[in-house]
């Protein structure tokens, strides 16, 4: 990884407000596209894309170019144009959960993460159809904002429980290995959800674990990783090691992860993992 370009060690209040405005503008761009104008189609990798994905990507790219000049942007819709990364770069999924979006579900998101030193230091996630924005600055806490209520932030925190766990699992991408892990952990209650909103369910205290033991793109998870971490949880490899970002040689994909609301439970479950 190149170490050229500006380096951000944290995100201050001013920049946090500006990045919040970026994902809010992307959410507005998605909502402005009429269903008849979506033009859904499959990309070369067989994943879906619509005019709404492209509209949100254009808004984010234009605003970040002005807000963070010199910092590389890695977006799902423009990853092929990504040049050298600096120590700090941005990971973007302009519309995470396109399949849910096209199907008429409301739990799709806009994801934006600031990554420094291979770890996300801040994450911003808009939920356009629900009028919500989640954000987290690692070391400073996490918040939920309701756009309908004037955008006043409410602090959120991962919960600590000693009883039975609740897991959040994917609606569109069932993962047999993850389900097997939850069985071994004795997790009976499973909350189905689309997109990276699953991370926010942990961050706001509604669930305890979100496993994904299958490959996934970095832009799908980096913002959620930052939000959960900022809210007091943890996100790691299935073996409990730090989850690192900027894997350009791997196509910006990680082999899997587990998000925990309570890091102490991660330690106690370590013997349950299989490589």
- pLDDT of 182 reads 94
- pLDDT of 5 reads 81
- pLDDT of 37 reads 95
- pLDDT of 70 reads 93
Q: Which domain holds residue 196?
A: 166-272
- pLDDT of 61 reads 96
**DSSP assignment of 215-235:** -EEHHHHHHHHHHHHHTT-EE
Instruction: Answer yes or no: do 126 and 32 share one domain.
Output: yes
**Could you report the per-residue pLDDT of 71-99, keeping only the tens digit for each?**
999 999 988 666 789 999 999 999 999 99
Residue 208 lies in a domain: yes
What's 32's domain CATH number?
Answer: 3.30.540.10
Q: How far is 156 from 43, CA to CA, in rounded Å?
A: 36
**Count of domains forming the chain:** 2
pTM for this one? 0.94
Residue 217 lies in a domain: yes
Residue 8 lies in a domain: no
- pLDDT of 275 reads 37
Strands 41-42 and 48-49, by their bridges, are antiparallel
Residue 1 lies in a domain: no
Instruction: Answer yes or no: do 68 and 130 share one domain.
Output: yes
Residues of the chain with pLDDT under 50: 1-2, 274-275
Instruction: Answer yes or no: do 107 and 140 share one domain.
Output: yes
- pLDDT of 274 reads 44
Q: Is 59 helix (H, G, I), strand (E, B) or coil?
A: helix
Instruction: Answer yes or no: do 146 and 205 share one domain.
Output: no
Instruction: Answer yes or no: do 147 and 171 share one domain.
Output: no
């Amino acid at each position: 990884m190149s170490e050229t370009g500006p380096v951000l060690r944290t995100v201050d209040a001013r920049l946090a407000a500006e990045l919040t405005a970026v994902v809010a503008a992307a959410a507005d761009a998605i909502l402005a596209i009429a269903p008849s104008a979506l033009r859904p189609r499959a990309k070369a990798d067989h994943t879906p894309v619509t005019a709404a994905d492209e509209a949100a990507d254009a808004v984010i790219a234009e605003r970040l170019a002005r807000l963070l000049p010199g910092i590389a942007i890695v977006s799902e819709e423009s990853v092929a144009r990504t040049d050298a990364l600096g120590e700090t770069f941005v990971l973007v999924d302009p519309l995470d959960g396109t399949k849910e979006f096209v199907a008429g579900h409301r739990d799709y998101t806009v994801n934006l993460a600031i990554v420094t030193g291979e770890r996300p230091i801040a994450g911003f996630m808009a939920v356009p159809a629900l009028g919500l924005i989640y954000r987290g600055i690692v070391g400073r806490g996490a918040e939920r904002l309701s756009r309908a209520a004037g955008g006043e932030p409410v602090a959120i925190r991962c919960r600590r429980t000693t009883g039975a766990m609740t897991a959040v699992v994917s609606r569109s991408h069932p993962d047999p290995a993850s389900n097997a892990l939850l069985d071994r952990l004795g997790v009976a209650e499973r909350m189905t959800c689309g997109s990276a909103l699953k991370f926010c369910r942990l961050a706001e205290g509604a669930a305890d674990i979100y496993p994904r033991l299958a490959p996934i793109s970095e832009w799908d998870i980096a913002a959620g990783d930052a939000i959960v971490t900022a809210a007091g949880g943890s996100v790691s490899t299935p073996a409990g090691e730090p989850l690192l970002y900027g894997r350009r040689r791997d196509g910006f994909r990680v082999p899997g992860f587990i998000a925990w609301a309570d890091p102490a439970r991660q330690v106690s479950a370590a013997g349950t993992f299989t490589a």
